[in-house]
Amino acid sequence: MRLIFATRPSALARWQTQWVIRALEAAHPGLTCQEEVIVTHGDRVLDKPLPEIGGKGLFTQELEAALLNGRVDAAVHSLKDLPTEMPPGLTVGAIPQRAEVRDALVSAQGYTLETLPQAAVVGTSSLRRAAQLLAARPDLQIRPLRGNVDTRVRKALEGQYDAVVLAGAGLTRLSLTAHVSQWLPLDVMLPAPGQGALAVQCRSDDAETLRLLAAIEHPATRAAVDAERAFLEALGGGCAVPVAAYAEALPQGALRLTGFVGAPDGSGHWRGSLTGESARALGQALAQKAIAEGARQWLR
């Protein structure tokens, strides 16, 4: 048995793909896996903020094309980068157990969000992060930040910014958590829908690959991220909108979903929560609540 995995060239993408490969080979003795590195549009264009070049499939379209034409059997994505609309013929065959969901502040001076100087420069190209940072600290100056995880950390440590904000999962996976000056609490900074989770994509008619991937599926993680992504989808959003969501498991199989929609300049925001048992219905219901309570003004 052999599987070929598409992966992006970054250290984080390679780490994530190799983690999935090790887990599958451990679960299926006799299975061999190999990587095929594919450079995406998001990897090539590094001189512009993500929202300017963003839209659906910034980091995924080339990998999906390789799947659809049969060049590879599967592709590993950071789930937060995967558009909510799946191309016909593709499916998410497995979502392994989620890693760290929080965002982290990296600062050469060891600043926290509370101790950053007045009008400090903070690096992020995420409208979601900018909206929540400015909701907490309207005085901050938000500046674009691109590059791989290690590049972004280096820019912070060199003092190009007073601090930068990064997904904690990437820092954890690349053993860079020693540089974290603050783990941002969820009541201040909600994550992107699906943040911290991996998605292993494959062809929907590939029964053998789906059978193999089932070994690394984590149902509780899938339920949580399904709720978060349903919230984003119902709001009509992608990576270029200031939307955040996090679902946590409650006893007896229920989920509590918290969502955020905000103005990128921090001038206003909506935040709310709902509890339910059906992941997609919960996400859709919270989106309807957000729109009914005025959140649409920040989605235009």
**Catalytic residues, which ones?**
81
Tell me the C-alpha distance between 93 and 208, whole Å: 11
Radius of gyration of the chain (CA): 19
Tell me the C-alpha distance between 48 and 52, whole Å: 7
Among candidate residues 283, 171, 174, 287, the one with its CA nearest the CA of residue 222: 283
Tell me the C-alpha distance between 290 and 236, whole Å: 12
Tell me the C-alpha distance between 17 and 105, whole Å: 26
Among candidate residues 296, 248, 287, 289, the one with its CA nearest the CA of residue 268: 296
- 237: three-class secondary structure by DSSP: coil
The token duo for 286 is: 């919270």
- Label residue 3 left, alpha or beta by phi (over 0 means left) and psi (-120 to 50 means alpha): beta
The token duo for 39 is: 């450079």
Range 148-152, long-range pairs (CB < 8 A, 24+ positions): 148/10, 148/11, 148/12, 149/10, 149/11, 149/12, 149/174, 149/176, 150/11, 150/174, 150/176, 152/106, 152/123
Q: Which amino acid is at 263?
A: A
The token duo for 100 is: 């760290």
